[in-house]
A and B are shown apart, each in its own frame.
Chain A
């Protein structure tokens, strides 16, 4: 094909836009605590449910949340998936476990990694605990927690997931 007859079917037009991202007031307070190695949630003044990470409002009631609640770094597996494909822009190698975890003292799950576990043995109701990075690496980021690992505690029955007190699960 001669050059003048070449059919152009597409062009590369890379788009790069720069943003100065801000976390929001609630997230900023949460991350300040995470930098100290502490997980804090916020309690809804209306329905008393504890949100973590807090987003500054109770999505169910549509009201601002203020009261802060210190949570445990122990949690229960609400559900999970074993992922066999890489995450774009993330060094994690598949297969890895992503779990919806409910921290003791909270009523809603957050997403985090599980590791140092047999993937095939991960199950709903399983008890886990945060594995923190060395303290000198702590930053304003949830990945101060490297991942969660199973702990030797009895499973939480499904109907109790999301209702474990901050004092923990006795079984």
Chain B
């Protein structure tokens, strides 16, 4: 079984490494100091299990997982963190609160070893860290891009993905529209259509179309259709 450790503190990685020694069937293939390296190593080695810290440079452990198509099993290792605690409850195989004992560690690992069908980690609104209302982490080719939400013009539904439009083109993210609708600031991002979420800063005009239909005009020149419910919601947020 291949294992990767992702933690920004060398000593914290050291303790996991030390505890791993007693498991001959667990083979440490990489250790990483941040999420960028983490993504690279996980894609390269395809591990079965990762030990993952939450608070890390640039992107959090959760944001890192979002960038991986089929995330492996995850055991979180973190110090007291009220947001992470909430998220762990439903989703991770286990979580280890630093500092943790060898016994506690063994128990977590035995859960992975003894588990029959693999349960994929579920990243939903509940695992959204406080950062996710401020930024979105996306992948473009080999590069990882941290997008501050201010730079996002709008979101468009695209099969299982969402297209995130910015001045530099669009990025794909495997998430649902309702995820963004729930995590982003509802006064700035409005779901104006089943397939669209609009950043109000980008809105220049609302024009009537035939019958009761309306269309929104964006700074970038895009014409975005508004559903009837979306039009009503938009008006109420704008206070008109």
Does B bind A? no
